Amino acid sequence: MRGMMKRTVATVMAVLIACAAAGCSSTGNSSSGSSSAGETTTTTAPVVEDMGNIDLSDVTTEYDVPEDFSYESEAEKGTLSGGAAVLDKNFLGKFSGDGFVSIGSSGDMVEFEIDFPAKGSYNITLTMAADGEGQSNLITVDGAALTNFTSTTTEFGDTMAENVLIDEGTHKVGIKGDNGHIYIDKIKINPAPAIDLSQYEVSNQLSNPNASDEAKRLYNFLTDVYGKYTISGQFSGDNEGKDCREFKEIKKHTGKTPAILGLDVSNLSNSALSHGAGGGDMVPLQAMDWYNNENGIVSLCWHWYAPEKNLEKNGGAWWQGFYSEYTDFDLAKALSGEDKEGYDSIIADLDHMAGVLKELADANVPILWRPLHEAAGDPKYPGNAWFWWGSAGKDAYIQLWKLMYDKFTNEYGLNNLIWVWNAQNPDWYPGDEYVDIMGYDCYPAERDSSSQKWYYDLVKSSTSTKKIIAMTENGSMFDPDGAFNDGTRWAWFSTWNGEFCIKDKQLSDQYTTFDEWNKIYNSERVLTLDELPNLKCYPMDTEKYLEEHK
């Protein structure tokens, strides 16, 4: 029954695909001529390129803040809350004033009431120390987390939170604990220079020289809007695609629909199919529908189950078999030939998934393809890879990435894929020739609306080549105004399904407040589904298009 339904839906989709394609042509499809046998041939008119009404003006951070504005205060003069305390012991180097403030736990805070002469972008310099380098904590304004800063020294020295957007008037600026014990001696605030917009000027050439026209059009659009907009995204729950509860609730409360539909092909892994996993066969159809009929963008990830013989270890169920903890599969041994059966299983899974993706390639649906995600785990805690494709280390991971890329691109000709990498660690980067977009999966504390700049900058350091950087998964959502101002211009966000979006089948404010949901989805800097140009008609070369359409 499932196979019959799928064939029926696929037939309907094929008709819709043809109609969608005709929407970009100058004359639609036309029939011309016939063979000696009386057969009719069909000719499709060329695509008439159109950028729609998208505004590609630069988004600057220039404000009318007096150049001579400056604020400075000893930390101990601020208002303390939580477990924050004033110390005067000389164990971190020389401090100024009567002491310094110790912030030891998440939620500890010191605040300063400051009068700002104008709305603008400010640099906040902290004379501080930390128990360890690389610890990330928060800058708040009137209680809302706007950005994070990272400790650089274990003795008193200067650390800067750059380009913090603050409105005119009196505000409470806070330093709030989040990750690691820090000590604040002094705070200083000055106007910030405008950020360098050239960092968002990325090439529109995909890693695959044979990329499909549809992939080129989508990628060119992504490069055009990078640094000017963040595209909204949401993962679907329960293999329901656009009909999932998450999409319905976002539309009901914000009036808007996410532009990116996130789907997971996990139930199409061979091991999942052998256990009777359902719903996976609908994913390609949902992807076709979203792109062809809704003009949306499709993102696919793959929670890849380990080979069947390696499942159900350490008390885990088969459906937990992508976690390192619940499988004894050793990727390094499989790739080296020591475990030939394991290698054959990997190849069989890749061949099978290539067949799934071939349906989308044949339907001309471009895909943001994000395999092998979160491979290195959390970079702040090395050695904690929670998925099997990262548990054997970076060398095995990179080898698997290249193997998949080669098979999908060169063997199977899946030219509709835009390759999105987010192993979470710059040392695990496979190389520019295998990656189109870089990303990070951010799961900050509940209601932390800061820009997550530390992670953005970490990903950026993976290569000297300028590439698009996206928040490929998230829990709590970031405030777009603060993020754009401090240069953390994520190409898109894609909120994970379930509790991060809904609770009891209704939109939830557990991770993102209702006010923030509305602000984000109605921000002029966030693109929703209704604001996308026709992606099937978008130019492959914007410069050439603009030259021809002066």
Q: HSE of 190 in the Cβ direction (CA atoms, 13 Å)?
A: 9
Q: Return the structure tokens found at 263.
A: 């789907």
Give the residue from 536, 364, 363 showing the smallest Cα distance to 11: 363
- Across the chain, which distance is largest between two alpha carbons, in Å? 98
Give the residue from 426, 278, 293, 450 showing the smallest Cα distance to 365: 293
Q: Return the structure tokens found at 356.
A: 């799934």
Distances in Å between the Cα of 514 and the Cα atoms of 249, 498, 519, 520 are 12, 16, 9, 10
The catalytic position among 49, 162, 214, 473 is 473
CA distance 157 to 408: 50
Q: What φ, ψ does residue 469 adopt, rounded to 5°?
A: -120, 125
Q: What φ, ψ does residue 183 adopt, rounded to 5°?
A: -135, 120
- N residues, the chain: 550
- Write the DSSP string, 20-39: HHHTTBSS-EEEEEE-TT-P
The catalytic position among 74, 111, 249, 374 is 374
Alpha carbon 271 to chain centroid, angstroms = 27
CA distance 537 to 213: 10
Report the SS3 class of residue 428. helix
In the annotation, is 240 catalytic?
Answer: no
Q: Return the structure tokens found at 456.
A: 């953005």
Taking a C-beta distance cutoff of 8 angstroms, is the pair 267, 238 a contact?
Answer: no
CA distance 288 to 13: 7
Those residues whose C-beta lies under 8 Å from the C-beta of residue 198, and which sit 6 or more positions away, are: none
Distances in Å between the Cα of 62 and the Cα atoms of 59, 479, 506 are 9, 19, 40
For 297-338, where are the alpha helices, taking DSSP H only? 331-336
Give the residue from 433, 466, 324 showing the smallest Cα distance to 385: 324
Taking a C-beta distance cutoff of 8 angstroms, is the pair 398, 430 a contact?
Answer: yes
Count CB neighbours of 505 within 10 A: 10
Taking a C-beta distance cutoff of 8 angstroms, is the pair 60, 548 a contact?
Answer: no
Those residues whose C-beta lies under 8 Å from the C-beta of residue 306, and which sit 6 or more positions away, are: 271, 321, 322, 327, 329, 388
CA distance 384 to 390: 9
Q: What φ, ψ does residue 234 adopt, rounded to 5°?
A: -150, 135
Report the SS3 class of residue 477. coil
For 37-195, where are the alpha helices, taking DSSP H only? none
In the annotation, is 473 catalytic?
Answer: yes
Strand-pair category, 437-442 with 417-421: parallel
Catalytic residue annotation: 374, 473
